[in-house]
Structure 1
């Protein structure tokens, strides 16, 4: 499958220049406006609770005998895996500032990761979560099947409106205790976000309340997909991460990204500069110990083994350049003592 190449310095592109996600390849590029796609999700034959109980499920079955007293052996149901559909409104193409209107492969593979967690553990049940740069909102929508609170965030009136529509289209999937909020979050601004008199009606609609900001401080899970493609946005993203992860409860981030390669005149080679910028923020545990007294942000990251994550969402090709990273923030002792 062909790859979409977004330069690491996306400011070089005109805002009106249109790009297309590799997920949409094959669609007529001239189509304008939002479109509805149904993404099929294959589910395991048993729900998460049955999987966790393991063989305890079979031990509760009743033993049946026929008229001659012989044991009746029930054959296993050989039906194919259960499936459901996720309804997503999206654009086929968009400008660089509005790439959140499209569906991207990193978003789909992070959806696979969340689905796998849901069906193999109780880790995400009843939690408070924040998704950064959510785009169409697919990952947060899936998480709302088990989570208590899900804050789905992005920047831009059109993206927020589209995301809210997707939340509405899929609301029947949510568990009965779930609350899902679509909120505006510009990484280049301060946290917590504030409103001003010049804010648009859409921005006011997706503004934060004081109680919501306080609840996010107590969140345990952060999610992000395909937010690493521009160096200035990567810097702003990690600045926001530091503000979020250095306060309140301890948090873990799962970030899915695609390594995009471009020819660099400086290096005279094809390199993934955006990926290198991302990795420059990460440390290993031992390195963080040596930086204990330095005032630099200290993010510890490790990649997830994707061979252990089944593909639940059918309509995409993973390829070889998608990764998911688990990222934690190591607080300085002075920070931990004041929290």
Structure 2
């Protein structure tokens, strides 16, 4: 990419956005979640109605959920942060929930965490569909970006550490957690800076500084999640080093990753390839071979036809991967 060139996620095309006049280039989107009915497990029951379903070319059934419009006049506080007018519990009689999210529409590559990407929405679907696996668990969100996956995890879990790098994205994630506090009131959410390139030690400054207590809590996390973090080989290598450390300490745990295979045509290959995805897979193999004393690491892709709780274009390039640490005979 050329210096200053911006990248754009297409997720915003499926939702109604309105820019905040006080914050350059930022938008607010309300993501409507169609919650699973308590009396059925059928995928079709997540649909609004039969004639509103659509099927994409991957064979997945796409559930069209209602997108709520942002009010024409948005109120902000003295810092320019959005003030929400609450009307009680966001869970209504139709079993829906609404996540209000501030995010960017287009950024330079180093700031892509401020956008919403489809891999995060797929991971949210996975969390919601397997809610009993995350209920009352301690969760670590790596590269949390806007905090969307953190908020969904916090709807289920006991504790969630929301981590990323950089003051801007951390402030955005913290703000989004705050304005969705009605959905996460039963969970303790902590926003901290965790730089994979620096290793797991005290780092950062101010309100997002990672402390010794935080590190102890993070190492005890039972579940790790990450979405849309596979796009740069150096960062992928740093991510795997961090995952290796996390899987080697504390209780046995599982990492769930939502990602998108991004296809590119290269002159060197004269073909359409997925270099970032290939590097990711090679990292999985190395991680399993490396293992650690007293533990084994296993990775696998989760191939299941998940119901769609959010509205987005689910393509066959979107995948969920899991990495487990296992103590033999443990």
Give your verdict on TM over 0.5. Answer: yes
1:140 corresponds, among 146, 150, 162, to 150
Q: Paired residue for 2:134? A: 124
2:34 corresponds, among 42, 48, 53, to 42
What RMSD in Å do the two structures reach over aligned CA positions? 3.0
Q: Are 1:168 and 2:178 counterparts? A: yes
Q: Are 1:210 and 2:212 counterparts? A: yes
Equivalent-residue separation in structure 2 for 1:149 and 1:305 (angstroms): 28
Whether the 8 Å CA contact 2:118–2:314 is kept in 1: the answer is yes
Q: Evaluate the alpha carbon distance shift between residue 143 and residue 292 of structure 1 in structure 2; reply closer, same or farther with a 3 A threshold.
A: closer
Q: Evaluate the alpha carbon distance shift between residue 37 and residue 88 of structure 1 in structure 2; reply closer, same or farther with a 3 A threshold.
A: same
Q: Paired residue for 2:47? A: none
1:84 is paired with a residue whose SS is strand
1:180 corresponds, among 168, 174, 189, to 189
Structure 2, gaps ≥5 residues long:
42-91
**Pairing of 1:24-173 with structure 2 (within 5 A):** 24-25=12-13, 32-46=24-38, 81-118=94-131, 122-173=132-183
Equivalent-residue separation in structure 1 for 2:196 and 2:28 (angstroms): 29
Q: What is the total number of aligned residue pairs between the two structures?
A: 274
TM-score with structure 2 setting the length: 0.75
Structure 1, gaps ≥5 residues long:
1-11, 53-78, 196-202
Q: Which of 1 and 2 has greater Rg?
A: 1
Whether the 8 Å CA contact 2:297–2:325 is kept in 1: the answer is yes
Whether the 8 Å CA contact 1:281–1:299 is kept in 2: the answer is no
- Give how far 1:209 is off: 2.3
Whether the 8 Å CA contact 1:283–1:298 is kept in 2: the answer is no
Post-superposition Cα deviations, 1:2-39, rounded to whole Å, max 9, x if no partner, equal: xxxxxxxxxx542x21111021248999x742111001
Q: Are 1:325 and 2:321 counterparts? A: yes
Moved more, 184-193 or 132-141: 184-193
Equivalent-residue separation in structure 1 for 2:9 and 2:259 (angstroms): 13
